[in-house]
Amino acid sequence: MQRNATTQFPILLVHGLFGFDRIGGFELFHDIKQALRTGGARVFIPYLSATHSNETRGEQLLAQIDRVLAGTGTARVNLIGHGQGALAARYAAALAPDKVASVTSVSGPNHGSELADFLEKALTPGRLPGHVARSIATLFADFISLLNGQPQLPSAAVAALAALTTEGVGAFNDKYPQGLPKHWGGHGPEKVNGVRYYSWSGTLRESTDTEPEPLQVFCRAFSEYFITEAGQNDGLVGRFSSHLGKVIRSDYPMDHMEAINPGSGKACRGTDPTALYLRHAERLRKAGL
C-alpha cells in the first residue's frame, strides 16, 4: 500500500559526521529520499561540513533552511537528522523555532557517544595503553578511509570527535536542552517553543550473513568499546543516548549505517528502514506538519 507522505512542510534529511550526498560507494539516505518523494513529500538534503562542530554545522543548516523556505514559499520545515545531523537540527530549532516545525533524531548521539569518548582517549597520547590506542585508532582510520576514500585520519575528524563525546554533547545540551529527557532512558517533552521533537534508533541485530558488508563489520567492531550501553547500541551510538522528545522506538534491529542506507546490508531483518521514514512522514502529516 502506498503511504501518503504529503507533509505540510518540506522535509530536510540532515546528514551526520562525514556525510555528503554520497559516502563511499553509496548514496546517503539511499532509496529514502525517492520513497518520500514518491509518497508526495518535498525532500531536500542540505550540504553541511563533513567534519565540524555542532554549532557550525547548525549555522550552515540555518542558512539552507532559509533557502528552502524562499524556494518553496513555505513558513517552516521538518528536520530529520541522522547521527550528528540530529545535533545540527536541534541547534537550528533552538535558534529559529519559528522556521522549524519538527526535529526528528535518527540514531543521534543526543547524550554523547561512548565510542567518541573512547576514540578521543585513543587519539590522546598516554590516555590508553599503547596497543589498545593503536588498535582503535587504526580501526577508526580504516573506517574513515572506507567512507571518504582518504587513507589518513583527517585532523578535522579528530577535532569533530570532541563535539560528540559525552562531555562535548553535555556542554551542547546545557545551551540547547529542548526535547531532552529529564531522566536517563526516558522520553523528553514532545513540543517545545512550538517545535515537535521525535527520535528513533536501532541496536545491532544478530547477523547471519556469511559475507557481511564492510560497514556492518565496522559497526560490530566499534560496538565492543561500549561499556554503559554494551549490547544496547548500533555500533556508533547507544540506544538510550539517542533518546529525544517522543521516542518512537530505540531498539529497531539495524546498525548505525543501515538507518540511512537500507541497502548497506544484504537484509535488514525485522525492520525496513525506508518504511520508518515513510511512516514518520505520515505521522508528521497527521500532526499537521
The active-site residue, picked from 31, 142, 251, 272, is 272
- 174 assigned to active site: no
- Euclidean distance between CA atoms 251 and 93, whole angstroms: 26
Q: Which residues of 34-43 are buried (b: 16+ CB within 10 A; e: fewer)?
A: ebbeebebbb
Amino acid making up residue 8? Q
DSSP string, 213-237: -HHHHHHHHHHTT-STTTTSB-SSS
Closest listed residue to residue 164, CA positions, set 227, 239, 104, 87: 87
**Residue type present at position 86:** A
Contact 99, 77 (CB under 8 A): yes
Extract the C-alpha cell encoding 140. Answer: 577508526
Percent of the chain as helix, strand, coil, to the nearest 5: 40, 15, 45
- Residues annotated as catalytic are 272
